[in-house]
Amino acid sequence: MPNSLEGFFAARSASIVDACTSCGHCHAICPVLPFTDAGDATSAAVTASVRGYLDQGAPMSTPAQRWTEACNGCGDCIPACPEGVNPRQMLILALTRGAKSAARTPHLFRKMSRAIKLMAGMQLLPAEFSRLLVPPRPRAVPVVFYTGCNALRTPHLLFNTMMVLDALDIDYEVVGGPSSCCGVIHTKWQGDLGTGGRVSANTLGRFAEFEPQQVLNWCPTCHMHLTESLAAFHAGSFDINHVTDFLCQRTDALAAKFVRPVRKRVVLHAHKGYRGVGDNVARLLGAIPGLTLAETVYESGYTCGGSGCSRSPGLQALEHGHLLDRVRATGADTLVTLYHGCHAAFAGSEAEGGHRVLNFTDLLVEALGEAPHEDRNKQLRLRRDWDMIIAEARPYLQANGLTFSDEWLREWLPQVFAQQEFKGGLDCFAPPGSVPDQHRGIEE
């Protein structure tokens, strides 16, 4: 086994090149194709171009490049391959190789980590802020709850999950935030495999310090990177599972603790890319007394956001519109979201009236007879007035020691909320000297 991530990815690319016959089945079944300008190239020609790029670095054709960039991670291609290749990973390897020579999102990790700190600081009390951003001291525990990085933008989901783990009497520690990144940003987005390998190894090593039996992932991107992209690269003494797998295995124990009927008619938003997670949540919702699950709407992609369905904006708009149509058609009073990216994408739709937007963790906590953690992310999004948002966030920012002027916040908060760093924006958080000083934000 190669001892560097670059060597590991080179070996994986070679394995795919050897197995792939360029039959084009993966391309032909891809749901993003009608929403990309792929020209009249055949599916076989497009896959052959990607294969050639991984094999010898031959420049990809325009249709192959557009297909690779539009991949939303839905995974429909995986069972379609007659040779057992994982085409989703084939395209991730192509993106990684392309980012190595010309990253389109300069300084992404730096920008993302600072934006996350700002978003969390606008919503949390200092003790909560520290729990998510300050690494805990290692101690032996059976479970590590791994939050990833971007979920800290919607921190109430994480605190709700902790309340559920507490109700089940689970002994666990919380690891996450930019100091424990999974490494996908450096690897896939920036093409820096040396740093990406070290970041991933550091985080996996941090897990090991707690001697856990299981690491419970929240973030689907972290889950894909650590368990699919890096499969067999790092051996560990613990299993990495999605937190909903863990909860589903304890559905009966959790249901026994539900003391409050939740009289809501809901539509669940889920993703095909990790269909099992949506199925898990549907099962958990089915155990809540009083709750009616009218429908589960699966959209393509593996998550909402820059790594998922946002890569194909036309398809995203169509599927998001369909979801809201189903909420209205089924007479649901609540749209239930899956991941943090999904919650951020749909929270604002509550302003349209007719339904609330809650995460599945809100409903689990409510059924336990507790008050869900305050969803300040949604509250701020629903304000739709930056002066009001700044006024409400100011006390939290000051309490957490984060100093920004109102003028700076008015200029940059729209980009922070829209996660524009994933599109090359948020120059305010770029390194010193790379942008004018007046654009700089948080002090080093």
Contact 253, 226 (CB under 8 A): no
> How do the domains of the chain map onto residue ranges?
5-101, 135-248, 258-371
281 closest CA partner among 268, 264, 290:
268
The pLDDT of residue 2 is: 59
Q: What tens digit of pLDDT does each residue of 182-211 get?
A: 999 999 999 999 999 999 999 999 999 999
Class in CATH terms, 258-371: alpha beta
pTM, rounded to two decimals: 0.94
The pLDDT of residue 103 is: 75
The reply to whether 135-248 and 258-371 are identical in fold is yes
**Measured between alpha carbons, how far is 117 from 115 in angstroms, rounded to an integer?**
5
Report DSSP state, residue 199.
H
SS (H, E, C) 252-290: HHHHCCCCCCCCCEEEEEEECCCHHHHHHHHHHHHCCCC
Class in CATH terms, 135-248: alpha beta
Identify the bridge partners of residue 299 per DSSP, sorted by sequence position: 271
**Measured between alpha carbons, how far is 320 from 311 in angstroms, rounded to an integer?**
14
Q: What tens digit of pLDDT does each residue of 82-106 get?
A: 999 999 999 999 999 999 887 788 8
Terminal alpha carbon distance of the chain: 39
All residue ranges of the chain with pLDDT < 70 are 1-2, 434-444
**Measured between alpha carbons, how far is 175 from 181 in angstroms, rounded to an integer?**
10
The pLDDT of residue 444 is: 34
**Measured between alpha carbons, how far is 248 from 257 in angstroms, rounded to an integer?**
14
**Measured between alpha carbons, how far is 121 from 399 in angstroms, rounded to an integer?**
8
Please spell the DSSP secondary structure of 335-353, one letter per residue.
EEE-SHHHHHHHGGGGGGS
What is the torsion angle, in degrees rounded to the nearest 10, for the CA atoms of residue 334, residue 317, residue 74 and residue 348? -40
